[in-house]
Structure 1
Amino acid sequence: MQSPVFEISITGSFYSLLLPEDIIKPFLEKNLRRVKAKASFKGKEFWFHGAIQKRNGKHYMMFGKRYQKELGVFPNDYFELQFFEDTSKYGVELPEEFEAVMLSDYEAYQIFESLTDGRKRGLIYAIARYKNQQTRIDKTLLLCENLKRGIRDPREMLKSL
């Protein structure tokens, strides 16, 4: 499932996109609140995962500074956007290192799977932000150890004791 390509700009001070109802209606009818999106601007293309959120009777999607910088857009710029059904397991791209470490530690994997979907995504984002492959491995190993120790506070999960 995919939407047609449409033009959009950033609205408000919350770095969000006001989504056209006709574009998102098919996704909402299938109860698909998380989507994969492709943003295009002046020859640049950027893929990201996002959630369709409802506020004050209208639907929005967050499009933070990091996404704006990657695409090269400013709040007054119009750019193209297209939605696709998100078929990923967690609603976010999973770093290879994260997956490999989790598959090697079944106990930590089971604990990770027991977390809420949002908590899982947050931890995956936290690991994925590291550019160095070895750092992603080390942080995932640390996460596994902390999960097995019973640490559930997200601020503490990637810290050494």
Structure 2
Amino acid sequence: MKSKEFSIGLLDQYHLYIPCEIAEPFTASKQSRVKVKATFKQNNIEFYAAIKKDKNTNDYKMMFGKRLQQELGVFQNDYFQIQLFEDTSKYGVDMPEELDAVFKSDHEAFTIFEGLTAGKKRSIIYAIIRIKNTQSRIDKALIMCENLKRGETNPMTLFKI
């Protein structure tokens, strides 16, 4: 499933307004998480997001934080193109190679990881993705695996020695 490409601007500092005709086919099929392709001038980015319905206005919106705004190169009054796609990823975000390799070598930690909520899994994956250096990603993944095996599941302390 995918939407048509459409023009959009920031609803407020951190959100995008998603028109009902675009959002409802996804939400009706119980797919509130989507893959997004955004284009502005020569910049293209892809990311995963959740479509949420605003209880007060019945409008649909999506988080679009400062990091994504900077990557795409947009400001508050800019309009850009986006297209939504069905999220076919296992975790709602792509698994980094380094984390996948560590999990393949530590089945016990992977089993514990699989038992976590979808949101905690995504938090862990995003924490690893934010690390730029490959070796640092591996090191943090190893620390996280050891902490999982000790029973630690709080994403705030999971990466601490």
TM superposition score category, shorter chain reference: over 0.9
Tell me the CA shift for residue 28 of structure 1. 1.3
Q: Give RMSD over aligned pairs.
A: 0.8
2:3 matched to which residue of 1?
Answer: 3
- Distance between the aligned counterparts of 2:26 and 2:152, measured in 1? 36
- Distance between the aligned counterparts of 1:99 and 1:31, measured in 2? 27
2:143 matched to which residue of 1?
Answer: 142
Aligned residue-pair number: 159
Q: Which amino acid aligns with 1:71?
A: L
Query: 4+ residue runs of structure 1 moved beyond 3 angstroms?
Result: none
Tell me the CA shift for residue 80 of structure 1. 0.2
2:51 matched to which residue of 1?
Answer: 52
Tell me the CA shift for residue 30 of structure 1. 1.1
Segments of 5+ residues of structure 2 without an aligned counterpart are none
2:102 matched to which residue of 1?
Answer: 101
TM, length-normalised to structure 2: 0.96
2:44 aligned counterpart, secondary structure: strand
- Distance between the aligned counterparts of 2:2 and 2:153, measured in 1? 36
TM, length-normalised to structure 1: 0.96
2:136 aligned counterpart, secondary structure: helix
- Distance between the aligned counterparts of 1:155 and 1:23, measured in 2? 35
Tell me the CA shift for residue 103 of structure 1. 1.3
1:126 matched to which residue of 2?
Answer: 127
Tell me the CA shift for residue 155 of structure 1. 1.2
2:22 matched to which residue of 1?
Answer: 23
- Distance between the aligned counterparts of 1:42 and 1:152, measured in 2? 41
Tell me the CA shift for residue 25 of structure 1. 1.4
- Distance between the aligned counterparts of 1:25 and 1:154, measured in 2? 32
Tell me the CA shift for residue 68 of structure 1. 0.3
2:10 aligned counterpart, secondary structure: strand
2:41 matched to which residue of 1?
Answer: 42
Q: Which amino acid aligns with 1:8?
A: I
Segments of 5+ residues of structure 1 without an aligned counterpart are none
1:62 aligned onto 2:53? no
- Distance between the aligned counterparts of 2:75 and 2:158, measured in 1? 34
Q: Which amino acid aligns with 1:18?
A: Y
1:11 aligned counterpart, secondary structure: coil
